[in-house]
């Protein structure tokens, strides 16, 4: 397992945001794939999926997780209709 360190900045609202914008390429695919594994295969809620991603060094908002799960279809999703 590899761990990526993502530099963040704390903004006025008190939340930490990653520097450098959006995930691209392999990092994005890895985040989407892992979100599907946690949510679809393991049956975790969105918040549990978010916590699971953070355990793997990936910080994603609930809205982005929802978008990733709806925009990309995994084998588990396609088997459920």
Instruction: Report pLDDT digits (tens) over 7-42.
Output: 777 889 988 777 655 677 888 899 999 999 999 999
pLDDT, residue 1, reads 63
Query: Are the C-beta atoms of 53 and 60 separated by less than 8 Å?
Result: yes
User: Any residues with CB less than 8 A from the CB of 67 and at least 6 apart, and which?
Assistant: none
- Residues 70-80 have a mean pLDDT of 80
What is d(CA 44, CA 48) in angstroms, rounded to the nearest whole number? 6
- Measured distance between the N- and C-terminal CA atoms of the chain, rounded to whole angstroms: 32
Query: Are the C-beta atoms of 41 and 54 separated by less than 8 Å?
Result: no
Sign of CA pseudo-dihedral 31, 33, 35, 38 = negative
């Amino acid at each position: 397992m590899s761990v990526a360190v993502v530099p963040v900045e704390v903004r006025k609202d008190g939340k930490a945001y990653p520097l450098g914008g959006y995930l691209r390429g392999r990092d994005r695919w890895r985040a989407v794939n892992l979100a599907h594994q946690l949510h679809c295969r393991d049956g975790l809620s969105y918040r549990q999926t978010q916590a699971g991603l953070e355990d793997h060094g990936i910080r994603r908002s609930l809205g982005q997780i929802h978008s990733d799960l709806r925009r990309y279809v995994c084998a588990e999703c396609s088997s459920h209709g």
